[in-house]
Structures are given as structure tokens and as C-alpha cells.
Amino acid sequence: MRVFALVVKPYAHDEIQGILERQTLNMALCSRLQACALRVLFHKNSLDNDDVRGFTELLSTISSPILSTLTLSLLVHRTKDRPIVRRVTYSEMRAFDWAGIEATLARGSLPGLRNLVIEGEGEAAVLQDYIARVFPVLHARRVIQLLPSSTT
């Protein structure tokens, strides 16, 4: 398998960790993976750290030395007022487990990773500045690419 796309639509009030606890999803056997896209739809108004717990564990099961691009797209489905689906904002993405991602990449299990593409909405500089300030080692790797929704 060279390209893998995972689309997760958790139940209301669920998070990635809850899904991983109920399902076995181990990508260790995908050793020839070149590109991977993870898209998660949350049924809530905004994102917090509890929602995305588990992403680092999922990422740590990938052991493909030739994986060059990993795309992450998080969406929220607001149901109050009028139901809409929107991408998570870059401001909300600050709650993501960047320390876990930094640690996972430091272990060297993804030596070929050149692009960690984060799809989002809003001002990309908010997340760029946050990562540069709080996670300078991760920022120095220069693998994170922010892709605003207006260009997708």
C-alpha cells in the first residue's frame, strides 16, 4: 500500500482516543506507505485537547521509512443553530498534542517525512508562531506546512 486515507467520524462527544480504545488500528504493517491522510470529523462546536488525544499513538504506529507526506484535516460539525461542517481553526489547533508529535518524529520512525500538512481555517501565522515559540525543535525540522481552507 502506497497511499492511505483514513476518515474517522466519531460519535457525538467522542474523541480519537475513544475510537482507538474500541478498535484495533495499527499501521505498522504499512511499511511501504508513501502518503497518508487522516481526516477526523468531530460532532461539536470547537476542538479541545481531549478530542485529539490518541493521534500521537496512531502516528507512532506508522513505521514506513518512505512516508514523505502526512496530511491532517480536523473538522467540526456544529449542530446548534444551523448544522455546518467546518475545518478546525489554526487557533484551535494550538490545543493539539504538538509535544507528542515532536517526540514521535524525534524517535526516527518516519525518516522520510518531508511534509506534515495541516489543513485548517483562519490565520495560519497563529499556529506557526505558537509552534516556533513553544516547540522550536519541531519548528526547526521544517516539515509542517499549513494549508488554509481557501486554497484547498
pLDDT digits (tens, 9 = 90+) for 20-75: 555 555 666 777 888 988 887 776 665 655 656 667 777 777 878 899 999 988 87
Please give the model's pTM, rounded to 2 decimal places: 0.78
Residue 19 pLDDT: 52
Cα–Cα–Cα angle for 75, 62, 12, rounded to 5 degrees: 30
Residue 129 pLDDT: 97
**Grid cell for residue 144:** 509542517
Cα–Cα–Cα angle for 52, 56, 66, rounded to 5 degrees: 130
Model confidence at 117: pLDDT above 60: yes
Residue 10 pLDDT: 52
In this structure, what DSSP letter does residue 95 have?
Answer: G
Q: What sections of the chain are H helices per DSSP?
A: 16-22, 49-52, 55-60, 98-106, 124-134, 136-141
